[in-house]
Amino acid sequence: MTKAILVAGGAGYIGSQTCKVLHQAGYLPVTLDNLATGYAQAVKWGPLVQASLRDRAVILDTIKQYDIQAAIHFAAYSLVGESTRNPAKYYDNNVSAATDFAGTLVEGGVKSMVFSSTAATYGMPQTRLIAEDHPKNPINPYGASKLAFEQALHWMGQAHGLNTIVLRYFNAAGADLDGEVGESHEPETHLIPLICKAALGKSPPLTVFGTDYDTKDGTCIRDYIHVIDLATAHVAAIERLMAGGGSDAFNVGTGEGLTVMEVIKAAEEALGRPVPYSLGPRRDGDPEILVADVSKIKATLDWTPKYSDLKTLIESAANWQTIRPY
């Protein structure tokens, strides 16, 4: 019998890609999504249950109907700027509603959950490579809300035996190589889709924020991880939990950093056209370098990124922005 996995936020960018990888691995992904920011068209590999994290009765019925074995939780608000303007929205959904959801899982007998967290829990880096034991001092409500739920999961594990793996990922990018799902955010805030849209004439010129950082070309360095590699990390984490593994936390990235200008130049080469951009001042709270130490996840989950080379990241993202069915 096919094992069913409940995917909260499975109609979103990373959630839908993870549903595809779950399906390819022989699981039935059951998407729970209220479609506030997700798309019904992205749910292709299993049923869609249109409900929110607080819909206790619906979630309990879904657990029973599909004999849910484990859950993956993506359903969060994730715009840093919005979180600073409306922190209550982020604490309500990313902490309060998420805790309700985890409590319903426990009530329904589901004891394994993977949580989609973020490198924003670390705040300003104190080391060039950020390991999982790096101090956690988030500098915005988004990162703080994710850290608060990580802490809630720890105590729920102590009280109820809920085993969780937290995945803190860095800069998600790219799109499905078959063009079936991809990144459709409104507004879009991520560098690679903004570069692709600017190059394709689908959006105004890109703004490069900050050119006076202590890096090779003065622009910020980030660690870009392909969404397929992120999805395979979630599946590896779920399988570890279902095999009896205990709670843990892992970074998900490549361990290598690229400057903004390096990404722009690579995009121009890959796409064969210029990327229009202007230079702007630094943004408050933007760290100079954000790069993951990924030695732990490679050793523990036998996971390694396979699609996160810059050419694949850019070409898959550009293909998605060209066809973009939703």
* SS3 readout for 311-325: HHHHHHHHHHHHHCC
Cβ contact 7:71 at 8 Å: yes
> Residues with Cβ < 8 Å from 55, sequence gap 6 or more?
none
When pLDDT is cut at 50, 70 and 90, the band that residue 284 belongs to is: confident
What are the residue ranges of CATH 3.40.50.720 in the chain?
4-173+224-252
Task: Work out the percent of the chain whose per-residue pLDDT is above 90.
Answer: 91
Greater pLDDT, 63 or 286: 63
Buried b or exposed e, range 254-273, using 16+ CB within 10 angstroms: bbbbbbbbbbbebbeebbee
What's the token pair of residue 54? Answer: 């607080």
Fold of 191-223+255-323: UDP-galactose 4-epimerase; domain 1 (3.90.25)
When pLDDT is cut at 50, 70 and 90, the band that residue 188 belongs to is: confident
What is the DSSP code string of 174-235? ---TTSSS----SS---HHHHHHHHHTTSSPPEEEE-S-SSSSSSS-EE-EEEHHHHHHHHH
pTM: 0.95
Average pLDDT, rounded, for the chain: 95
Fold of 4-173+224-252: Rossmann fold (3.40.50)
When pLDDT is cut at 50, 70 and 90, the band that residue 28 belongs to is: very high
pLDDT of 1 strictly over 80: no
pLDDT of 276 strictly over 90: yes
Mean pLDDT of 294-301: 98
What is the largest distance, in Å, between two alpha-carbon atoms of the chain?
57
Task: Work out the percent of the chain whose per-residue pLDDT is above 70.
Answer: 100
Cβ contact 228:174 at 8 Å: yes
- What confidence score (pLDDT) does residue 185 get? 80
**pLDDT tens, 83-120?**
999 999 999 999 999 999 999 999 999 999 999 999 99
For residue 125, CA distances in Å to 209, 228, 303, 321 come to 19, 26, 24, 32
Helix, strand, or coil (residue 238): helix
What are the residue ranges of CATH 3.90.25.10 in the chain?
191-223+255-323
Residues found in the chain? 326
For residue 71, CA distances in Å to 38, 51, 56, 137 come to 18, 15, 15, 27
Residues with active-site annotation: 142
**Hunting for tokens 């049923």 — which residue is that?**
47
How crowded is residue 225: how many other Cβ atoms within 10 Å of its Cβ?
26
> Residues with Cβ < 8 Å from 194, sequence gap 6 or more?
188, 203, 206
